[in-house]
Amino acid sequence: MSEMLMSALRFHNEGLNVIPVGYCQKKPALPTWEEYHTRISTVDEVKGWFGNGKLFNIGLVHCRLAAGDHYISIDIDHDQGLLDSLKHLFAHLFTGRLEQSGSGEGYHIPLRIDHLPDFGIDTKHNRPRGNRTWKTRSSQGNP
């Protein structure tokens, strides 16, 4: 069993929604992946994608996993002190996994929460709106 398949199955066994992503890319390696916004990939799908000898990266679809169980991720690009500030202010967020982003300059903080805030609907993509960009003072060019 390949290391990538073992990792994909480990994520899946944690209850995360695993899909294949193009090798060294962020784009899903599926013709369509919208259905995974409302359903979790199966073990057979994960084994088929990551056990077939093709090179894929692992993608995790943020979605509602079960009633009152939502998987989200805080994505920090080009960290300039925000991670340390969050650790100081919200230490309870850092009791689990912390992932360094592919660039090596940022972090992903995966979380499960029981309630998602309602930001409305993204009519362009026909899905809940929730992607917000927060800028630190230093990333805006301020000291």
Give the chain's count of helices (H) and strands (E). 3, 8
Return the ∠ at Cα 108 (arms to 76 and 86), rounded to 5°. Answer: 60
**Interval 19-67: pLDDT, tens:** 999 998 889 999 988 888 878 899 999 999 999 989 999 988 876 666 5
Phi, psi of 82 (to 5 degrees): -65, -40
- The tokens describing 51, both together, are 């056990």
CB 9 within 8 A of CB 59: no
Question: Per-residue pLDDT for 139 more than 50?
Answer: no
The full set of domains in the chain, from first to last, is 1-61 (3.30.720.160), 67-137 (no CATH)
Question: Per-residue pLDDT for 123 more than 70?
Answer: yes
**Interval 59-110: pLDDT, tens:** 888 766 665 667 777 888 888 888 888 888 888 877 777 878 777 888 888 7
Residue 142 pLDDT class (50, 70, 90 cuts): very low
Phi, psi of 85 (to 5 degrees): -65, -45
Sequence length of the chain is 143
CB 112 within 8 A of CB 22: no
